[in-house]
Amino acid sequence: MSAKNMSATAAFAQSAATKLLIIGLNAATGIVTARALAPTGRGELSAMILSYSFLACALTLGLPSALTYQLRKKPEDASDLLGAGLILCLLISGISAIIGFFFLPLWIPQYSPTVLFYARVFLLNTPVALFFLIGRAAVESRNGFSASNFSLFGAPAATLAGLIPLKLMGRLTPVSAAWCYVLPGIPLALWMLVHILRIFKPRFHSFFASVRLLLSYGVRSYGIDLCGTMSLYVDQALVVRLLTPDLMGIYVVALSLSRLLNAFHTSVVMVLFPRAVSRPPIEVLEMTGRAVRITTVLTVVCGLGIVAAGPKLLVMLYGADYRGATGILRILVLEVILSGATQVMSQAFMALGRPGVITALQAIGLSLTIPLMLLMIPKLGLTGAALALLISTCARLTFVLASFPLLLKLPVPDLLVQRKDITGVSQQILRGLAVRRTANAAIEI
């Protein structure tokens, strides 16, 4: 086993462990807010904090992917690329916040003036949310997964630390809970900025040339970022628009429980894309296929557990008010499994410098989501939202699979788990344990 493979496995293991920690933290914050606020209050909380998260992710112009790609391809230009990326981050996030300020009253007219007011106030957090996406992309390009992971779990940990005292004092409201979600990002963003300044020493000597480099790749890959964001947020955005706050609260709880399964796929994507850049196509295909097979098996096993225990989990963790989420939870679990596999396979196109292809293909599939939801939510309510999301994900998965032979001239990755996958993972785990035992023995000596 090569050192590169071992380091990649270690990076994945660390990222997966971090995702599991984040899962636990997010589950805890979800339980606290769901029980304290009831479905209506939970829906109001989501309406207040959804807008800045959605805008930051939806209007990236592909900068995170572009930074990862260009920093790996042109490490000698890292300082100029980072300088340009930071300026673009400020410009894009500022424009996004202004758009959101004028658009929000049209989007959530059924919510109270207080909810609308704070939803607008929290748009000031848009630059922080976008900066985290760019900052993590930068440090991951240098294999700085520890710093990236710390920024990921630091915010939910601080949020939980703020929610619990308010709950115990009986002062947890939708507004106070929203502040607990927003404020922790500020000190973490400052820490990330100092970390980046120390590593990359951003400068602006070739600003316009660096901007062109970033946008040339970013605009072509932007559709993937946008599709990913829309697949994560468009359902919530339409549910918050079309249904009442209490139904929004129930939907968010079911969605949160199903999204626990994202840990495996997002951990792989974090490691796979930077390491696959500049490798031969066959090697990229092999890496992608192995990643899809292993993560899908893990996700299916965990998904079956969530489906089986779903009704009891919802009542036990969130309360009897959320019993109505049982039906849509089953649909959302299947959707997460398929969308995760699609996300992992998309990294092959990104790594081979063909982001525009996957952008177009995913956009076709995602374009089904909005009309399907507008058609199905009024008729079927929350079930319609979940089904629309599943149908769209199936379309995107079909397009991605068909694109391997048609556009990359490569065979479709084998999706059935193989003995060598299990053997390889087992060998890497055993070698990792052996290295740790050797290190511990050396310390004792």
Contacts of 236 (CB under 8 A, 6+ apart): 46, 50, 54, 248, 251, 252, 255
Q: Provide the greatest CA pair distance for the chain.
A: 70
Predicted structure pTM score: 0.72
Q: What is the band of 434 on the pLDDT scale with cuts at 50, 70, 90?
A: very low
Highest mean predicted confidence (pLDDT) among 171-185, 216-230, 244-258, 267-281: 171-185
d(CA 25, CA 188): 16
Q: Cβ atoms within 10 A of the Cβ of 208, count?
A: 9
Helix axes 207-242, 355-366, angle to 10 degrees: 10
Question: Model confidence over 117-130: pLDDT tens digits?
Answer: 999 999 999 999 99
Question: Can you say whether residue 277 is alpha, beta or left, with left for phi > 0 and alpha for psi between -120 and 50 degrees?
Answer: beta
For the cut 50, the answer to whether the pLDDT of residue 429 exceeds it is no
Segment 363-381 shows an average pLDDT of 86
pLDDT-above-70 percentage for the chain:
85
- 330-349 pLDDT tens trace: 999 999 999 888 888 888 88
What would the 3-class secondary structure string for 161-226 be? HHHHHHHHHCCCCHHHHHHHHHCCHHHHHHHHHHHHHHHHCCCCCCHHHHHHHHHHHHHHHHHHHH
Contact 64, 137 (CB under 8 A): yes
Give the start-to-end residue ranges of the domains of the chain: 3-436
Put residue 287 in one of left, alpha, beta given phi > 0 → left and psi -120 to 50 → alpha.
alpha
CA-to-CA dists, residue 379 to 301, 317, 327, 382, 388, angstroms: 32, 29, 16, 9, 12
Work out the average pLDDT over 121-147.
86
**What is the predicted pLDDT for the residue at 12?**
56
Burial grade of 359 (CB within 10 A; 0-12, 13-18, 19 or more): buried
Structure tokens at 93: 């996030």
Side-chain-facing half-sphere of 421: CA atoms under 13 Å: 18
The DSSP code for 318 is I
Count of beta carbons in the 10 Å neighbourhood of residue 398: 15
Please give the Cα distance from 85 to 137 (Å, whole number).
11
Alpha-carbon distance of 184 to 20, in angstroms, equals 20
Q: What is the Cα–Cα distance from 240 to 183, expressed in whole angstroms?
A: 23
Average pLDDT score over residue span 394-412: 87
Listed ranges 54-58, 140-144, 166-170; the one with the highest mean pLDDT = 166-170
